[in-house]
């Protein structure tokens, strides 16, 4: 069985120019993860190198305010690099902001400070490792 067959796709979470992200469930233990599938065939040599460096960096980080890397593998059939990461089940900040807009409500000051402090702690963890992140997404954990 190939590695990709160890997971069941639950739903698509998003996509970018060269990748798609899915919520998946590992069949063996029913744990939910996020799977980023990077389309390697369409990437230049430099972009492929950057994708592999992303995996190496993710694997080196262990911090409660940074999404955790679980495993990575290459899927032969689609030519994709698959990156399995912790799934932030509480969603991202944009969804929470949009929900407040829709309901004409606001975050409390305590909530805003909580989100801000978590973000700064995650950034500090990256900066301590000399990693500059250029695609920050604010995710919330319950």
The residues annotated with a catalytic role in the active site are: 135
Q: Residue 32 CB: number of other CB atoms within 10 A? A: 14
73 pairs with which residues across the strands? 82
Instruction: Find out whether 33 and 72 touch, Cβ atoms under 8 Å.
Output: no
**Tokens 């069941």 correspond to what residue?**
8
């Amino acid at each position: 069985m190939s590695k990709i067959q160890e997971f069941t796709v639950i739903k698509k979470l998003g996509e970018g120019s060269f990748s798609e992200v899915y919520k998946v469930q590992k069949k063996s233990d029913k744990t939910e993860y996020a799977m980023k599938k990077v389309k390697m065939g369409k990437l230049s040599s430099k972009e492929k190198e950057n994708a592999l460096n992303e995996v190496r960096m993710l694997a080196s980080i262990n911090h409660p305010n940074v999404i955790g890397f679980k495993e990575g593998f290459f899927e032969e059939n689609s030519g994709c690099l698959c990156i399995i990461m912790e799934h932030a089940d509480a969603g991202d900040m944009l969804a929470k902001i949009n929900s407040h807009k829709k309901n004409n409500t606001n975050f409390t000051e305590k909530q805003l400070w909580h989100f801000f402090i978590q973000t700064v702690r995650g950034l500090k963890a990256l900066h301590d490792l000399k990693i500059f992140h250029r695609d920050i997404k604010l995710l919330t954990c319950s």
